[in-house]
């Protein structure tokens, strides 16, 4: 069965007309201002990437197109920002691909564990035709993807018990995003998946509502979850990119020139953000080890084997997503196990 897809109601569509008339997303004046809301803080490398995009779009347009960024859930949670994009009351947002799963089914593919061989493989897919197709798959739900930002690989971190093998997760409550795929993955490994919003997670860990969580290294660092969690197990089970989106209602109000400025600024910001990401990753590892977190590098093969049931489920019940996964896994890069010459034979 396919997941229930979040769409807006007819009353919301009627509200859209009023919003577009009164909010002035596309102004008749010389300057067009777009609001971008997201949930990360201002020190995060993804936020810095979007700041670079805003700077470049202003430069490219000579100040005619501007992006005002509102971080730290000032305008709402990731889901709320997506819903505002759907009715056109917010121009842009950045969300995790996991949150997109219940809005656009194609994004479920990123939640498949151990989908990518390495970061080069992930970048090639996201920058190529498969990535572009996934970005465009949300237009029928009023969500146009502009770019993927690097959010690294996600690993488990826990308060009191280290995770060295999948069986260590048995009986443990692990915070996951509101993601069908994350729930299936943690359950397949033997853990108890517990969806909790990002903003509430620090307190949930502190009060032992959950025993641990899973996220990328910079987020573990910048959230200060290392103050509570003593173990980080670098099993790197999923590579969930962040997604830069614009409301199709707003996009269609932009001129062709404005659209091209925005496309170019987004493309340029992707490369810059990847640089920020690598810097943040090194700094995060250095800091958490200094603070006493034990960083574990487990054998990944038992983790891969433990989640085979997730692939089996989607092969049988969601062949569309499974087909995209097969296409992704067939993408070759120069440093993969097979060389380009071997692939041609």
Q: What is the pLDDT of residue 334?
A: 82
End-to-end Cα, the chain, rounded Å:
38
Question: Both tokens of residue 219?
Answer: 């987020």
By C-alpha distance, which of 182, 42, 173, 34 is closest to 100?
A: 182
On whether the CB atoms of residues 149 and 244 are closer than 8 A, the answer is yes
Q: How far apart are CA 98 and CA 176, in angstroms?
A: 10
Q: What is the pLDDT of residue 345?
A: 27
Q: Evaluate if residue 306 carries a pLDDT over 60.
A: yes
Fold of 10-149+242-283: D-Maltodextrin-Binding Protein; domain 2 (3.40.190)
Q: Evaluate if residue 24 carries a pLDDT over 80.
A: no
So where are the chain's domains?
A: 10-149+242-283, 154-239+285-315
Beta strands 92-96 and 173-176 are unpaired
Q: What is the pLDDT of residue 222?
A: 94
Q: Evaluate if residue 68 carries a pLDDT over 80.
A: yes
Domains 10-149+242-283 and 154-239+285-315 share a fold: yes
20-34, 212-226, 295-309: lowest mean pLDDT where?
20-34
Give the residue-averaged pLDDT of 63-87: 96
Q: Evaluate if residue 29 carries a pLDDT over 70.
A: no
3-7, 87-91, 119-123, 291-295: lowest mean pLDDT where?
3-7
Give the residue-averaged pLDDT of 287-306: 98
CA distances from 339 to 49, 129, 326, 334 (A): 32, 21, 19, 6
154-239+285-315: CATH number: 3.40.190.170
On whether the CB atoms of residues 139 and 259 are closer than 8 A, the answer is no
Give the residue-averaged pLDDT of 239-262: 98
Q: What is the pLDDT of residue 129?
A: 98
Question: Percent of the chain scored above 70 by pLDDT?
Answer: 88
Beta strands 32-37 and 231-238 are unpaired
């Amino acid at each position: 069965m396919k997941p229930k897809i979040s769409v807006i109601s007819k009353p919301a569509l009627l509200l859209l007309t009023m919003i577009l008339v009164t909010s002035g997303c596309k102004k008749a004046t010389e300057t067009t201002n777009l609001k971008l809301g997201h949930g990360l803080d201002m020190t995060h490398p993804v936020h810095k990437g979007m700041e670079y995009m805003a700077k470049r779009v202003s430069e490219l347009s000579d100040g005619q197109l501007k992006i005002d960024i509102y971080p730290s859930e000032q305008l709402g949670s990731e889901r709320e920002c997506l819903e505002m994009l759907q009715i056109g009351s917010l121009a842009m947002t950045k969300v995790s691909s996991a949150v997109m799963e219940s809005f656009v089914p194609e994004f479920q593919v990123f939640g498949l564990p151990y989908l990518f061989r390495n970061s080069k493989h992930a970048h090639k897919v996201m920058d190529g035709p498969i990535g572009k197709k996934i970005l465009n798959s949300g237009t029928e739900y009023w969500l146009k993807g502009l770019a993927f930002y690097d959010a690294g690989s996600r690993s488990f971190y826990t308060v009191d018990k280290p995770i060295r093998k999948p069986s260590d997760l048995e009986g443990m409550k692990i915070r996951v995003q509101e993601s069908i795929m994350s729930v299936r993955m943690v359950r397949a490994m033997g853990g108890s998946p517990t969806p909790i919003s990002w903003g509430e997670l620090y307190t949930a860990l502190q009060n032992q509502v959950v025993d641990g969580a899973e996220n990328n290294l910079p987020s573990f660092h910048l959230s200060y979850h290392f103050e509570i969690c003593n173990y980080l197990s670098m099993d790197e089970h999923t590579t969930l990119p962040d997604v830069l989106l614009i409301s199709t209602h707003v996009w269609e109000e932009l001129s062709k020139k404005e659209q091209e400025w925005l496309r170019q600024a987004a493309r340029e910001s992707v490369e810059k953000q990847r640089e920020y990401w690598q810097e943040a990753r090194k700094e995060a590892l250095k800091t958490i080890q200094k603070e006493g977190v034990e960083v574990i590098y487990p054998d990944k093969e038992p983790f891969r084997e433990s989640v085979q049931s997730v692939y089996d489920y989607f092969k049988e019940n969601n062949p569309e997503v499974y087909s995209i996964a097969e296409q992704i896994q067939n993408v070759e890069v120069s440093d993969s196990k097979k060389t380009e010459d071997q692939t041609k034979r």
